[in-house]
Structure 1
Amino acid sequence: MTQYAIVMILAGFGIPILAAMNAQLGGWIGSPAAAAAVLFVVAFSVAVVVALIVAPQGFAKLPTAPKHLFLAGVLIAFYLLSITFIAPHFGIGNAVFFVLLGQLFSAALVDHFGMFGAQVSPISLTRAAGIATMAIGVWLTQQA
Structure 2
Amino acid sequence: MMGHAAIMLAAGIGIPVLAALNARLGANIGGPAAAGVVLFAVALTAAGVVTVLTGPAALGRLAGQPPHLFAAGLLVAFYVLSITWIAPVFGVGNAVFFVLLGQVLSAAAIDHFGLFGARQVPLTVLRAAGLGLMAAGLALTQVVGRP
Give me the whole-angstrom Cα distance separating, in 2, the residues matched to 1:77 and 1:42: 14
- Could you tell me how far apart the structure 2 residues matched to 1:42 and 1:125 are? 43
Cα shift at 1:39:
0.1
2:24 aligned partner, one-letter code: Q
Cα distance, 1:55 vs. partner? 1.7
Alignment identity in percent? 57
Q: Cα RMSD over matched residues?
A: 0.6
Q: Which runs of 4+ in 1 moved over 4 A?
A: none
Match of 1:125 in 2: 125
* Aligned residue number for residue 96 of structure 2: 96
Separation of aligned partners in 1, 2:98 and 2:14: 16
**Map 1:32-71 → 2, pairs under 5 A:** 32-71=32-71
Distance between the aligned counterparts of 1:127 and 1:121, measured in 2?
Answer: 10
Q: Which runs of 5+ in 2 are unaligned?
A: none
| Structure 2 residue aligned with 1:136 | 136
Superposed CA offset, 1:104-124 (max 9, x none): 000000001111110100100
Residue 106 of structure 1 corresponds to 106
Uncovered stretches (5+) of structure 1, i.e. residues with no partner: none
SS of the residue 1:142 aligns to: helix
Tell me the amino acid that sits aligned with residue 14 of structure 2.
G
The alignment's TM-score, normalised by the length of structure 1, stands at: 0.99
Shift of 1:142: 1.1
SS at match of 1:105: helix
- Secondary structure at the counterpart of residue 120 of structure 1: coil
Cα drift, residue 85 of structure 1: 0.3
